[in-house]
Amino acid sequence: MYRYDDFDADFVRARVADFREQVERRIDGSLTEDEFKPLRLMNGLYLQLHAYMLRVAIPYGTLNSRQMRQLAMIAERWDKGYGHFTTRQNIQFNWPKLKDVPDILDALADVEMHAIQTSGNCIRNVTADHFAGAAADEIEDPRPTAELLRQWSTDHPEFQFLPRKFKIAITGSPNDRAVTKAHDIGLRMVRNAAGEPGYEVIVGGGLGRTPMIGKTVRDFVPKADLLPYLEAILRVYNLAGRRDNKYKARIKILVHETGTEEIKALIEAAFAEQKALFQAPPQALVDRIEAAFAPPDFDNTQSLVFDRAQVDDPVFRSFVETNVSEHRNPAYGIVSVSLKPVGGTPGDASAEQMRVLADIAERYGHDELRVSHEQNIILPHVRKADIPAVHAELNKAGLATANIGLLSDIIACPGMDYCALATARSIPVAQEIATHFDALKLERDIGPLKIKISGCINACGHHHVGHIGILGLDKAGVENYQITLGGDGTETATIGERTGPGFAAEDLIPAIEAIIETYLDLRHTGEETFLAAYRRLGAQPFKDAIYDNRRDSARAA
C-alpha cells in the first residue's frame, strides 16, 4: 500500500493544526455554526441527529493492521467502542465530542490517515474493487491508478467547489465489484487491440432521488492519458453543471439534459486542450506508487489442510462456500469477513473485533485488510493452509458469519437512528429481515440475493441496485417502505423497478416473504438465481404476490 512521504505527512498535519484552531474558535463562540459548517465539512465532520459524526477516509478501501488498531483505539477512547464501515469504503465514528475531534485527527495522522474530502462539493474518496490485487479475474491491480487519482484530486484548487459532490470508482476486472456504473465517473480496466491495459470511462451514473446508470464516453483511454481526460470531464462539469438547484447539480443531470453525444464532444474538445497543457506526474512518482503496490512475497507451499478441513467440518465448509473467493495464486484464498451477524447492525465492528482483524491480517494476511462497499472486511491474501485457523479466530470474535452474498448480507444506511436527513429507520429493518429468514432456515436454498436498504431518498444504502431494494419514506408522519426489484450493481448494472405502493413497517416482512416464495416457486432449477429469475419472469408475478398478500391480510383483519 502507499506510504506517506514528507510532503504528505506535513500536508495532513497542517490541515489538522488549522482545524484545531477553527474548533477552538467555534467552542469559544468566535465562529457561528453557519460559519463553522463549511470548515468542519472540509474535515469530514458532520452534525447528525444526536451528535457529531466523523467520516474517516480509507483510500480505495486499503489499510494495514497498525491503522486498524488505531481505529479501534479511537473508537474506545473518543467514541462508544465501535465504528461503522460504509459503502464508500470509509469508517464513521458516530459519537465524537467536538473538542476531541482535532485529537482524533492527530491520532489518524500518526498512522497516515485523515478525513480530508470525505465531505463537501469535491472529489470524494476514490473507491476500488475490494479484491484488487488479489482477484483471479483481474487484468491489473487498479490501486496504483486510484492512488494517483487520490493525489491529483486532494486539494485540487479547481475542483474544491464543484456544483455537487463527485464520486469515482475503479475496477481492474471485467467483473465489476465496484459499482462503477452508479458513480459520477466509473473506470473499468480493459485491453485494446494491442493488448495494452487502459480504461473504459463511464460518466453520469448515480443513485439518490434521480437514479441513473452511467454512459460510456470512451471505450479506451490509455493509462498515460487518464489524468488529463478526467480533468477534462471535471472541467466540463464544473463549468456547465447546474448550480441553481442542488437536486439537479450532479453530473448525471448534465449528461441527461445535454445528451450523451454532446457531452462526449464537449469532453473530447476539453481533452484536446488539456492534453496539450497537462504536465504529467514525474515518472519517479509513478514508479514509487507502483512499487508500493507490488504483490506480497507469497508462500506457495502446498498443503492438504484446507481440503481436509472442509471434509471434516461442515461449518467450515459452509464458510468457504460463501466467504472464500478465488485468488490469483492457487495456494491462496480471498477471505471475506461478514460484518452482518444475524440481528446485528450492518457494517458495525467493535474495537475488540477490529483488533482481532488486525491480528489476523498481521499473522496470516500479509498485513493487509480491505473495506468493501458492501460494508464487510476483506483479507485479500490468506494462504489456504491458514484459512481454517483464520476461521477459528474469526469464530471466537463473532466474525465468522457465513453469509457473504446471501439474504442476510444486507447493506443498510444508518437511517433515522443516526442521520438527520433520514425519513425512516434502516437498521431495525435489516435486523428484522435477517432474523426472520434465519428462523426459516431458507438462506442457503434462496442462494445469491442482495437486499439493500435506504432510510431516505438520498439512497446511501444503494437500494436502487439491490436485487430487492427497500426505501424508507415518511408518509403523513408514519414510516412507509417502497420496494424495488431487479436492481443490479455489477457490469450488467440496472436500476430496480418500483413494485407499487409502499408498505407499513409491520407489512414489510410479509411482502419480502411473498417475493421470496414466488421466486422459489417459479425458478427453473435450484441453480437459477433470484436476479436471473426476475429477468426471465418480469415484475408482474412478484407484484401480484405482494399485493394479493396485502389484500388477503386486510380482509382477514
Cα–Cα distance for residue pair 158/529, rounded to 1 Å: 46
Which pLDDT band holds residue 557 (cuts at 50, 70, 90)?
low
Residue 56 predicted with pLDDT over 60: yes
Cell of 414: 444508518
Choose among 311, 393, 319, 318: nearest CA to 357: 393
What is the number of H-type helices and E-type strands within the chain?
Answer: 18, 21
Q: What is the pLDDT of residues 139-172, one digit of tens each?
A: 999 999 999 999 999 999 999 999 999 999 999 9
Residue 553 predicted with pLDDT over 80: no
What residue type is 9 in one-letter code? A
* Higher per-residue confidence, 302 vs 206: 206
Q: What are the backbone angles phi and psi of residue 84, rounded to the nearest 5°?
A: -120, 115
**SS3 labels along 109-124:** HHCCCECCCCCCCCEC
pTM for the full predicted model: 0.96
Which H helix or E strand runs over 380? strand 377-383
Choose among 118, 167, 112: nearest CA to 2: 112
Cell of 210: 434521480
Cα–Cα distance for residue pair 254/266, rounded to 1 Å: 12
Q: What is the pLDDT of residues 359-386, one digit of tens each?
A: 999 999 999 999 999 999 999 999 999 9
In this structure, are residues 487 and 205 in contact, taking their beta carbons and an 8 Å threshold?
no
Q: What are the backbone angles phi and psi of residue 379, rounded to the nearest 5°?
A: -105, 100
Q: What is the pLDDT of residues 11-20, one digit of tens each?
A: 999 999 999 9
DSSP character at residue 212: B
Which pLDDT band holds residue 302 (cuts at 50, 70, 90)?
confident
> What is the number of alpha carbons within 13 Å of residue 226 lying toward its C-beta?
27
Looking at residue 548, its pLDDT comes to: 86
DSSP character at residue 208: T
What residue type is 454 in one-letter code? S
Q: What is the pLDDT of residues 109-139, one digit of tens each?
A: 999 999 999 999 999 999 999 999 999 999 9
Place of cell 515518472: 283
Looking at residue 264, its pLDDT comes to: 98
Cell of 237: 462539469
**Beta strands 497-498; 478-485: pairing state:** antiparallel
Instruction: State the distance between the two ends of the chain, measured CA to CA, in whole angstroms.
Output: 60
Cα–Cα distance for residue pair 428/433, rounded to 1 Å: 9
Q: What are the backbone angles phi and psi of residue 148, rounded to the nearest 5°?
A: -60, -40
- Identify the burial level of 381 via C-beta atoms within 10 angstroms of its C-beta, where 0-12 means exposed, 13-18 middle and 19 or more buried: buried
Residue 280 predicted with pLDDT over 60: yes
DSSP character at residue 28: T
Cell of 65: 493492521
**SS3 labels along 485-511:** ECCECCCCCECCEECCCCEEHHHHHHH
Looking at residue 436, its pLDDT comes to: 97
Proportion of the chain above pLDDT 70, given as a percent: 98
**Beta strands 197-203; 185-191: pairing state:** antiparallel
Residue 555 predicted with pLDDT over 90: no
* Adjacency order of strands within the sheet including 168-171: 127-128, 168-171, 185-191, 197-203, 215-222
Residue 202 Cα distances to 168, 220, 327, 439, 479, angstroms: 10, 10, 27, 42, 36
Mean pLDDT of the chain: 96
In this structure, are residues 198 and 184 in contact, taking their beta carbons and an 8 Å threshold?
no
Place of cell 404476490: 545
Residue 550 predicted with pLDDT over 80: no
Extract the runs of DSSP E, i.e. beta strands, from 185-311. 185-191, 197-203, 215-222
Looking at residue 303, its pLDDT comes to: 87
Taking CB atoms within 8 Å and a gap of at least 24, the contacts of 191-194 are: 191/139, 192/220, 192/222
Cα–Cα distance for residue pair 149/123, rounded to 1 Å: 10
In this structure, are residues 94 and 131 in contact, taking their beta carbons and an 8 Å threshold?
no
Place of cell 471434509: 311
Looking at residue 525, its pLDDT comes to: 83
- Identify the burial level of 288 via C-beta atoms within 10 angstroms of its C-beta, where 0-12 means exposed, 13-18 middle and 19 or more buried: middle
Looking at residue 502, its pLDDT comes to: 97
Choose among 387, 389, 368: nearest CA to 377: 368
Cα–Cα distance for residue pair 373/142, rounded to 1 Å: 16
Cell of 398: 463473532
Cell of 291: 512499487
In this structure, are residues 54 and 45 in contact, taking their beta carbons and an 8 Å threshold?
yes
> What is the number of alpha carbons within 13 Å of residue 280 lying toward its C-beta?
11
Residue range 431-438: mean pLDDT, rounded: 97
